[in-house]
Chains A and B, each alone.
Chain A
Amino acid sequence: AQSVSQHNHHVILSEAASLELGCNYSYGGTVNLFWYVQYPGQHLQLLLKYFSGDPLVKGIKGFEAEFIKSKFSFNLRKPSVQWSDTAEYFCAVNPSGNTGKLIFGQGTTLQVKP
């Protein structure tokens, strides 16, 4: 079945540690890719997106993600996390040609210890 998989369900890091959250999808062809973030008590918001062009995408708050087509992956990275990055992170895919339906992964809870 077509799906989006996030490998890490719960990640705990200390401040200044580097972060990489995995995301793989199983859709063929052209896709649009997203990372959304949900900070405690807040609504989901867009962190970054990839439609085309440079496969290394930079988002808000120092986050970036790399699209590797051959691996069907769109991993999220940040060189040095902060306590304020504690949140739940969702990878999402919009299979091109599918008019708007975003398929989300299960989410990864990131806890950053001060």
Chain B
Amino acid sequence: GAGVSQSPSNKVTEKGKDVELRCDPISGHTALYWYRQSLGQGLEFLIYFQGNSAPDKSGLPSDRFSAERTGGSVSTLTIQRTQQEDSAVYLCASTAKVSTNTGELFFGEGSRLTVL
């Protein structure tokens, strides 16, 4: 597609349930990122995929969070046993070029997660 697509745009779930958030990056982009945006907290890096390399998972806040990227394209962020503090907007971004001079990230609209 023309841009980064994320789904669902809004998700309300009960505490303890598992959720999956999907990201479809711009076609041909090799790098994919997940960030979390909480009120007053800015953008928190979660995980980063680059081609076939092992992902950088250094930002995942706990082992309840995981992500995969199938076929170098679509990515799914999974949050198990959701907690209220997981409520946030989860942003996905992709970029075509990754090097020491990283280019512009293209962001999706985000998935707003509310845990009751």
Are A and B a genuine interacting pair, yes or no?
yes
Within 8 Å CB of B101, what residues of A? 32, 51, 96
Q: Are A99 and B42 in contact (CB under 8 A)?
A: no
* Interface flags, B21-34, vs A, CB<8A=1, else 0: 00000000001010
Q: Are B110 and A101 in contact (CB under 8 A)?
A: no
Question: A99 CA to B100 CA in the complex, in Å?
Answer: 6
Q: How far is the CB of B103 from chain A (nearest CB, A)?
A: 8
Q: Are B100 and A107 in contact (CB under 8 A)?
A: no
Q: Which of B3, B4, B56, B109 contacts A101 (CB 8 A)?
A: B56
Q: Which of the segments A12-20, A41-49, A61-69, A72-80 contacts the partner chain?
A: A41-49
Q: Are A101 and B43 in contact (CB under 8 A)?
A: no
Q: Are B43 and A90 in contact (CB under 8 A)?
A: yes
A contact face: mostly helix, strand, loop, or mixed = loop
* Interface flags, B86-101, vs A, CB<8A=1, else 0: 0000010101001111
Q: Known: A43-B107, A100-B50, A101-B56. Is A106-B40 also a contact (CB below 8 A)?
A: yes
11 A-B pairs (CB sep. < 8 Å): A6-B42, A43-B3, A43-B107, A43-B109, A44-B105, A44-B107, A49-B104, A96-B100, A100-B50, A104-B42, A107-B42
Given contacts A36-B107, A94-B102, A100-B98, 19 further A-B contacts (CB under 8 A): A9-B40, A30-B100, A32-B101, A46-B104, A51-B101, A92-B43, A96-B101, A99-B56, A99-B99, A100-B33, A100-B48, A100-B95, A101-B33, A101-B45, A101-B56, A102-B33, A103-B45, A104-B42, A104-B44
Interface residues of A (CB under 8 A from B): 6, 9, 30, 32, 34, 36, 43-46, 49, 51, 90, 92, 94, 96-97, 99-107
